[in-house]
Amino acid sequence: MIPATMATQHPDNAGPPYWERDSDGFVSTGEEIEECLSAFRDLGCQEFMWDWEGKHVDEAVVDKLFHAHLAFFKKRQLGRDVFLTFRIPNIWHERGYSLARAMMGIHTAESFARDLGLHTPPLFEVILPMTKKASDIITIQRTFSRLSRFTSRLFREPCHFHYLNVLPLLEGVDDLLSAPRLLERYLVLHRREFGKKPSSLRLHIARSDPALNAGLVPAVVAGKVALHHYYRFGRRHNIAIYPALGAGTLPFRGGLSPLRINDFIREYGGVRTVYIQSAFRYDFPLPTVIRAIQRLNRELPRTEPPHYSHAQIATAAQLCRQFTAPYRRTVEAIAPMVNRVAQHVPSRRERKLHIGLFGYSRTMGKVRLPRAIPFTAALYSLGVPPELIGTGRGLRLWGRANSGVETYYRNFRRDLVLAGRSLNKDNLARLSALHRGWRAVADDVAAIESFLGLELGPKTRADEVHHTLTTDVLRNWSTGAEVADLIIQSGKIRHSLG
């Protein structure tokens, strides 16, 4: 079974979880065990991501799930009926303290499940974020194999489990566009290390970080091209391919919302697993969420992947370059202010500090950026949706038939219209008076309005309330007043913090 819906711990929810007693919206490490169970039992998610990347984590997750809910997991076996998948830290970016603990947790979970008479192994896959090289995937697999055999000898126990599936998560536009090189090299190394090719691959595509680093259009286009590459590689080598997509609720981070399942399936045919992030689960009515998850579970396995010609792939790479350039120029210019506003975005998880030994931050050129969620939250809360940045100038630079972008990005117009409803033109005018970087965004808006043939801005009563809140955010922030509660209120209206 390939799970279609993977609940994750991405901290993008504006409102509190439906199960939370204190209703503060913050999900502590201690609450994540019950959150995991609820995702399986109450929502119908088929998989849960346990995130070791840049955050604090309960290492005894399997022990606690089995001890507290053994009856549930006897009926729905972990590793057979429902799945728990660790996202491990990338040791080439973050010190490897957590990796060793995660690997021991996977190894000991197998022994514990065996002693309880449950399905084994309960955990058998990990997600490797920011995968850059095929050798990194092999290094993780080799390390686990050696650890498993060593602990077997050390504790004089049989070695039942020593091969770990590593699911590469590609997070850069260039990495996605050049995915075949990594996959072909991985196949060579895998045969050399294990004497055979992998029977299947679950290949993950990021949506947030490509958008953060290159803008909306390159993130979507590169992801669609990667889908084509993944399936072509699978056909060539007779390897089953099961792509996964890490999409958030807002268009900038993926556009996967309980209210937009039709649009998502239309856009991302061929995706077999989607991330069901916190905003999806907690910022919409519970019955709507459950129905959406049921539909994804039912329909994702049957969707058809995209197919592009060699000429279309070359054009896609050129398109990504054209749209990336104006986006990056502007984000580098406005980054200091965005960083300061992002500091007021309320925390939703127990993140580690992104400094020194404990983690990492995102960078662009000479500036440091927040992570994708607070970046998106800061801009939306100022009334300047990041979907618009660089997009208008990209359209002008592209200078081709309007259908050019939509060859790859089917929901392009719909996403721009939706994001544009959160635009606060008054705020943008005030910001433009402060820095030329914001004036470039105003130029984007004019070009997008010309492309769409309509004016961006609020369309509904809820949009008007959001407009008022973003006006208050900029005014309060400019005077040093508190803005965190205003950011939360605006996030509840747009159904996501960021």
Q: Which of 246, 257, 346, 278 is nearest to 18 (CA)?
A: 278
Non-local (6+) Cβ contacts of 227 within 8 A are 205, 243, 268, 270, 271, 305, 306
In the three-class reduction of DSSP (H, G, I as helix; E, B as strand; rest coil), residue 460 is classed as coil
**C-alpha torsion sign, points 378, 384, 387, 391:** negative
Does residue 364 sit in helix, strand or coil?
A: strand
Residue pair 151/191 in contact (Cβ under 8 Å)? The answer is no
pTM of the predicted structure, to 2 decimals: 0.96
Which among 157, 27, 2, 26 has a CA at the least distance from the CA of 83? 2
237-271 in b/e burial notation, b at 16+ Cβ within 10 A? eebebbbbbbbbbbbbbbbbbbebbebbbebbbbb
> Pairing between strand 367-369 and 362-364?
antiparallel
Helices (H), 387-435: 391-398, 403-406, 412-420, 425-434
Token pair listed for 68: 């507290």
pLDDT computed for residue 357 by the predictor: 31
Q: Tell me: the pLDDT tens digits for 56-111?
A: 788 899 999 999 999 999 999 999 999 999 999 998 887 666 888 899 899 889 98
Report the relative pairing of strands 5-7 and 367-369 from DSSP bridges: unpaired
DSSP labels, 166-214:
EEEEE-SHHHHHTHHHHHHHHHHHHHHHHSS--SEE--EEESHHHHHHH
The arrangement of secondary structure in 5-302, i.e. its CATH architecture, is Alpha-Beta Barrel (3.20)
The predicted pLDDT at position 355 comes to 37
Nearest to 19 by CA among 368, 383, 281, 329: 281
C-alpha distances out from residue 61 to 42, 65, 101, 185, 243, Å:
19, 6, 12, 34, 26
Residue with tokens 């993140």: 351
**Residues in the chain, pLDDT under 50:** 353-360, 402
Give, as one character, the DSSP assignment of residue 247: -
- Where do the DSSP E strands lie in 52-188? 83-87, 125-128, 165-170
Tokens read off for 53: 């990347």
CA torsion 323-325-328-334 (nearest 10°) is -100
Report the pLDDT value the prediction gives residue 56, as an integer from 0 to 100: 76
Sign for the pseudo-dihedral over CA of 368, 370, 375, 379: negative
The separation between CA 286 and the C-alpha centre of its own chain, rounded to angstroms, equals: 22
Q: What is the pLDDT, as a whole number, of residue 214?
A: 97
- Please report the pLDDT score of residue 365 as a whole number: 74
Domain span(s) for CATH 3.20.20.60 in the chain: 5-302
The structure tokens listed for 233 are 């590689």
| Rounded Cα gap, residues 212 and 376, in angstroms | 8
Q: What is the pLDDT of residue 362?
A: 65
